[in-house]
Structure 1
């Protein structure tokens, strides 16, 4: 059925040309009064033609602005339209995008290597940490972390940038990833740090107090540190130490609750205790600066403290300050250093009894508070000998005591550390001998000392600690960076000591780690234990009572050096594979990965000249320059072109310009004046000024292109470029281009992924 064509034209002069619309007549349902004398119930009115879009908000704003400002805004809008921007994209770039999106290109050998590399990076930077901690998923609720020693300028002072910065990033990421998995999977109730939180914490000046080396110690520094001492004093002070403190918090404190904030059943809450100092935090012995220790104590808490956890008493002692008494320096120099720790040890048993009594009252649901009698006494005759106290007195209940010290206790030289020590395993015993070799120098801690360190405490200080604290059944220490387990003799209460591995991979060991501790000490309401069991390997044994109340387990972290070695091996294999393919591609006519030379060098290979070479090119250039200086009809429907064509929108004939062969002629209407002229913007003076500006822009553009073309032709490339232009089309050159493009693609993507892991952890 042939429908008659109904064409509507907008009489609104705001539009630049008529708007035809062809619609089938049988699509309309006419009202009953349309062909009769019946009057409509009402006469609808409209303020605009509903077949025509109203002017945009931007055009309405232009109508309200002054003429010059409106013209400037219109020109800026026309120059920034999408069509003009997309037209400026070079053809070679559009071709490169199309070429890279092809299936053959996406599944090429370099991209397959990229996929394998990404899987390898995900394993080496993420999955291996999750796997290592999963192997330690045993019911332990307390964890010891030793010697993180955040890498800083003190660690490798002669290491150049950027290697020094990469070392800092990588060590931080290693510890952060390990700690995140530790918190997620193990969810410990308590974490103790065993000192050496920073590597150069003792070197950074404080805001107040004297932190200079004493006169007698100025010549003791190693030569490597001595040459950097002035730079450290000038660059690194209180502000830098605070940044390092924030860095420590970002690695550990920020992820404390990543596995949940609820404590285990029967626990009073979760604790993160990092107040035990090491020699890298404060120094060692008589060379400790009191302002440095005060700063550490302000931010991390008391360096000497007593904690009751799971019916065990943990006593943390600042052993690096205690060692100042055995340094041989005068008492006037060492007393400010040793006084706090000596006072703590003199009263530690009272502190232990108070802590145990407070814990028992908490478990019984009681509130322990100080009560004074209300009496009136003369000040001179008042008796202060029997004041109320929270100390239940000697002979009261005592929990098994665990000593925490950064520096290990003294042992005889050559005392073996056991089979879990990485450097070195125990020496095999002679044939027929069943006991371990003792002494075993390779498997033992070195009994030595040096600048700001001492591998073990003195024998007198070790005995003093055990006797002053009392009932010490286990000792946990750090400082050595490797695992060591010994049982001390009778003068140290037969205490079992475990030196915990460092959790940093730059501390001279291949497999860092941490120690998990399981505590089990059920008690009666009066604090007496409920069970009796003989001790075993790894457990703490109070030989007087025969009680085993704890079990330890060493958990190893990934071998980062092996991961880096594997990266290097895989990189070598990748280069070999790409080299073989680069050689075979031109020999066997394989699809090259490198783009065509014309796409790589569009300025030399393009067949289009920068200058117009014909009248058509000149006309096209004039139109382009004219569009850049006048209103664009494609982006602005309110500005009219110089000529108007009638468009047919009939679905039967298709959308587009009317064909001259159409049997039904379309009526022609005069082109309405553009909106901007109606607004008074486009008068005769303005048109003449714009025409002059347009001609000037065209002239300047032609001159600029002529100068660029002359410079390009007169430019003489260097010898390398000339050689490459000749060599790239030869067989060897094609192989080299193929290798460079393939290796560059793999290196670019894989390097970006690796840097993303390095930057974001």
Structure 2
């Protein structure tokens, strides 16, 4: 019984503890770093004929959509708050892994916040933006650029949308339309939601883009002005909303499900209009297009006369956007030295966080409960047999002593020694008891060990502890380790370095 009570318990509990801690560290930290490390910059093809050039690296992130209390109207407040914590934590882990690639520039393709367009107090909006900045903190030496999404500035009219959402957006994320040169490529970043709204007005007045008087400081005016400047560098277009394509067009093997379909509603439009897309392709003549909004990956090639223009819709980085594996995109650039374009890109996938919860943690929790349950059942049966055997031995011992006592009746006499101690007549005289062994008249006080109280008394464990209390105590002894590991990993993840 002593072995089963101590050694076997330590083996079972500690084995489960080690298993949980190892898997927790792997699935909360290591798997994110491994996923990022296994997706490297696509420099190999570029350096074959341009070994003397050093590629520039651009990290593209789409639709992080930081949640707030409005994101899930039908959920209880507590569940919504827990969802925010879990999604923020996942975004931080994915972002740290992505930053490990050491990009030269970062570009966000819109929808930074889930409800950045909503009417709210300025103080609340500032806190909302600060959450985004804290999650996506990075070295100030790395330039970062933003384009607006429909969740940032709105699309269409609604009493829920702030009328001056664009003004509020520009104070934190910069201009709505912009262009920047990297490695002799010009990145043209447009306000796609604003372009859609202006396109509705243009279409309502039945005017072509050539005859349309653009809205001051609007996207169409920006595009016409940029085209008039006579830019000589190859152009890469960044638009939050994907360009138009035939219904049911294939998105390639890396898409999780379905395809990008036309659709419009309050606050969104799935693709730009046909005329708008043609206007962008003709005016900018881009060599490559990156978009977001759809949340899933899509690789589609537009055909314009004899030109073929590839558009990549980048996956959302958030686990809350209806996809199994979030992701980001890596773009490598070398200054073009001839008629061929010197850029290459690759999508990168992050772990399936929901899958980890459902396929790893829950099965492991059920397995741990099963092991602890079986152990307690076997221990209870063993202890019962051991108790019966011990009780039987005691009865035999008491019976033997009683029969011996009956054969030799006691004839003790009481005497005292020279010190006044009472002696049994049948016993030899002994030395007096030491002072430390004297009986105090004061009530005894139990020395309380706080750690012992925490680890033992909380479980109500005793030599005769019930099956249920012993089972709960063993469950607690196992779960405290992975929960502590997750807590400290989360604390480390939320600390900005």
TM range (shorter): 0.7 to 0.9
Mapped to 1, the partners of 2:77 and 2:118 lie a distance apart of 21
Q: Deviations over 1:264-314 (max 9, x none)?
A: xxxxxx32112x000111111456755110111111111100100011010
Q: Equivalent residue of 2:362, what SS? A: helix
Match of 2:172 in 1: 299
Deviation at 1:585, TM superposition (A): 0.7
Mapped to 1, the partners of 2:491 and 2:215 lie a distance apart of 41
Q: Deviations over 1:549-580 (max 9, x none)?
A: 21111111111122111100000000000000
C-alpha contact 2:42 2:346 (8 A) present in aligned 1: no
C-alpha contact 2:119 2:162 (8 A) present in aligned 1: no
Match of 2:225 in 1: 347
Paired residue for 1:201, among 116, 119, 122?
Answer: 116
Mapped to 1, the partners of 2:286 and 2:242 lie a distance apart of 14
C-alpha contact 1:143 1:188 (8 A) present in aligned 2: yes
What TM-score do the two structures reach when normalised by structure 1? 0.49
C-alpha contact 1:517 1:551 (8 A) present in aligned 2: yes
Paired residue for 1:563, among 352, 356, 379?
Answer: 356
Match of 2:389 in 1: none
C-alpha contact 2:116 2:153 (8 A) present in aligned 1: yes
Q: Equivalent residue of 2:344, what SS? A: strand
C-alpha contact 1:466 1:492 (8 A) present in aligned 2: no
Match of 2:126 in 1: 242
Mapped to 1, the partners of 2:168 and 2:281 lie a distance apart of 28
Mapped to 2, the partners of 1:348 and 1:493 lie a distance apart of 21
Mapped to 1, the partners of 2:33 and 2:126 lie a distance apart of 31
1:272 corresponds to 2:169: no
C-alpha contact 2:214 2:220 (8 A) present in aligned 1: no
Paired residue for 2:89, among 168, 173, 179?
Answer: 173
1:747 corresponds to 2:472: no
Paired residue for 2:373, among 579, 585, 593?
Answer: 579
Match of 1:415 in 2: 249
1:515 corresponds to 2:329: yes
C-alpha contact 2:111 2:149 (8 A) present in aligned 1: yes
- CA separation of 1:575 and 1:461: change in aligned 2, threshold 3 A: same
1:552 corresponds to 2:436: no
Q: Which has the higher strand share?
A: 2
1:155 corresponds to 2:155: no
Mapped to 2, the partners of 1:321 and 1:617 lie a distance apart of 90
Match of 2:24 in 1: 121
Deviation at 1:464, TM superposition (A): 1.8
5 Å-filtered alignment, 1:160-559, equals: 160-184=76-100, 186-205=101-120, 237-253=121-137, 255-256=138-139, 270-274=142-146, 276-285=147-156, 289-327=162-200, 339-350=217-228, 353=231, 398-423=232-257, 442=258, 444-468=259-283, 470-490=284-304, 493-522=307-336, 529=337, 531=338, 545=339, 547-559=340-352
Gaps of 5+ in 2: 44-56, 206-211, 387-437, 446-458
- CA separation of 1:335 and 1:451: change in aligned 2, threshold 3 A: farther
Q: Equivalent residue of 1:293, what SS? A: helix
- CA separation of 1:758 and 1:156: change in aligned 2, threshold 3 A: farther
Match of 2:425 in 1: none
Q: Equivalent residue of 2:117, what SS? A: helix
Paired residue for 2:441, among 606, 617, 640?
Answer: 617
C-alpha contact 1:324 1:337 (8 A) present in aligned 2: no
Q: Deviations over 1:695-736 (max 9, x none)?
A: xxxxxxxxxxxxxxxxxxxxxxxxxxxxx99x9988xx7322
Deviation at 1:755, TM superposition (A): 3.1
Deviation at 1:452, TM superposition (A): 0.6
Match of 1:218 in 2: none
Mapped to 2, the partners of 1:278 and 1:118 lie a distance apart of 40
Paired residue for 1:133, among 36, 43, 65?
Answer: 36
Deviation at 1:748, TM superposition (A): 3.1
Q: Deviations over 1:67-122 (max 9, x none)?
A: xxxxxxxxxxxxxxxxxxxxxxxxxxxxxxxxxxx995993422331221111110
Mapped to 1, the partners of 2:443 and 2:379 lie a distance apart of 45
Mapped to 2, the partners of 1:460 and 1:499 lie a distance apart of 20
How many residue pairs get aligned? The number is 402
Larger RCO (CA within 8 A; separation ≥ 6): 2
C-alpha contact 1:155 1:199 (8 A) present in aligned 2: yes
Mapped to 2, the partners of 1:168 and 1:486 lie a distance apart of 33
Mapped to 2, the partners of 1:252 and 1:317 lie a distance apart of 22
C-alpha contact 1:279 1:453 (8 A) present in aligned 2: yes
Mapped to 1, the partners of 2:315 and 2:462 lie a distance apart of 56
- CA separation of 1:344 and 1:620: change in aligned 2, threshold 3 A: closer
Deviation at 1:480, TM superposition (A): 0.3
Q: Deviations over 1:502-548 (max 9, x none)?
A: 111111110111111111234xxxxxx3x4xxxxxxxxxxxxx4x23
- CA separation of 1:463 and 1:286: change in aligned 2, threshold 3 A: farther
Q: Equivalent residue of 2:218, what SS? A: helix
Higher Cα radius of gyration = 1
Give the aligned CA root-mean-square deviation in angstroms. 3.2
- CA separation of 1:408 and 1:580: change in aligned 2, threshold 3 A: same
Q: Deviations over 1:113-170 (max 9, x none)?
A: 1221111110111000011001012355111100000111222122224322221111
C-alpha contact 2:243 2:271 (8 A) present in aligned 1: yes
C-alpha contact 2:255 2:296 (8 A) present in aligned 1: yes
Mapped to 2, the partners of 1:502 and 1:198 lie a distance apart of 12
